[in-house]
Structure 1
């Protein structure tokens, strides 16, 4: 079935059907749902090559992954984000291009995408402090949206982020309310904006309750299970070890738990820990009480919403930049309890 036949079947113009399938906001939700249902029922698929020739658009969104972080390609957080973004792309008639490049070739990759017309827009992930990609992409002229924020960058840009500062301040307050005073931070690399904001929230909460942040209780590194294990072992060996840990990733948290158990301690009784949990689709628990107390957000939902944001930038580049700050929930699990006597 082609577009003309589908339009006749629905009693709508070809323009309306096309815009409904591509997710344009000027088509009502009821009409979009009706058109999509008919397209699915009759196995209608738009000819993306014909669309590209007719509109000058590739109908592709790009993701550039520097090789320094190629471990992200198998990281479940990255996988869930891409799944969410892909769901929105397919609903709106877009495809995805993932390009893995050497760090030194990242700028060239963006310029080649523009020059060759490979993509209509980009999603920028893992923003760094004073991230130079913001100015670069503005100069290249490709629409983009950022997953996170870039502290120190004054240029306007569209972004979606989790309120990392507030999430970690709230988690630190919760541990202090439980009587903990020696609270360790196992953070991501603080050149990354999210990790910088998490440390801000942690330190602000400590100071607000009269507790001086202790550099000996703060670690930063790539967020792996091994890093969580090594950092926890090191801190537990201190003369005055922490009674609680605040952990930047559920992957790190697995290492934290291993180190606590190897020390002969019980998580939630002898030592407490809170993790940031990206609500990963295949680490969800079915029990009534989660294993870990966590500040929780859905990275899959973030992918869905950020994909919609970059498509809006492509459709209406003159519109004001969109900013969306998501709040994380504090979910109480079995990994926290009162500070030991």
Structure 2
């Protein structure tokens, strides 16, 4: 197991480096320039600090690099001529990629926001507790509803209870968050007045967002649990347990449930990461001060560093949770071994 974990950790580093590289390249290729927006008095300083007058990667072309728009103090990237070819940088160290990656790899520095001049890490750290609490509460809602519903339907296959439960699950999967959220706000906040429609001053304000985010995954978990129960309930060891005279409750709780939730455990890693990522829409609907809202605002403002910081955070969580799920799989099912 230790060798497996070590190999996965090493592989995770390369996965994260690939994600960061692609995300940096995609954001830098987006049109417009974040330093030109609401920064008329310090455009050139913003460009110089973030090295936006340099290519993302070393560029080899016969056409010299054009000056950055609206910056009189622009200094061109170092240029070496080799016949008809212009090398627009003297190497990797004079690129935007190196400017971002070197502090990240040496001191885990995510840089400063191009919009607020606050540290990206500081800003994400302040918003992360809201997103984590929302994600954990949504996961609790999903498991609280999904697992019992799936077990109930699986133990009553092809009955009206099974059909009605799976119909509700299908409806839950089909309704997107941006539809369910406003419906819950309209009914429980505006009509009944039980909750506030937006903001987060106490845990009560997180109830509607948690339900909005968790119901979709509750429906999915119910379907997975039902499938796992239908597969495990026909196994020989279940027949043996019943033949020994165990009650149906003991058979289900002590023997069948452990195997029935294996598909759910496999789904938990991506599901938790999806819950955190899916909170982007929910946080925007309910105006919550979480990471998702920061990501939306950063994308609209072309705040490259904040977008990259959010991508790194979500990617790290996803990779870590997938590793954790693989380890939990061996705990729940001793037949599974990675040695």
Settle same-fold status: TM greater than 0.5. no
When you count helix as a share of all residues, which structure comes out higher? Answer: 2
Return the structure number with greater relative CO, CA threshold 8 A, min gap 6.
2
The TM-score, its normalising length taken from structure 1, stands at 0.22
When you count strand as a share of all residues, which structure comes out higher? Answer: 1
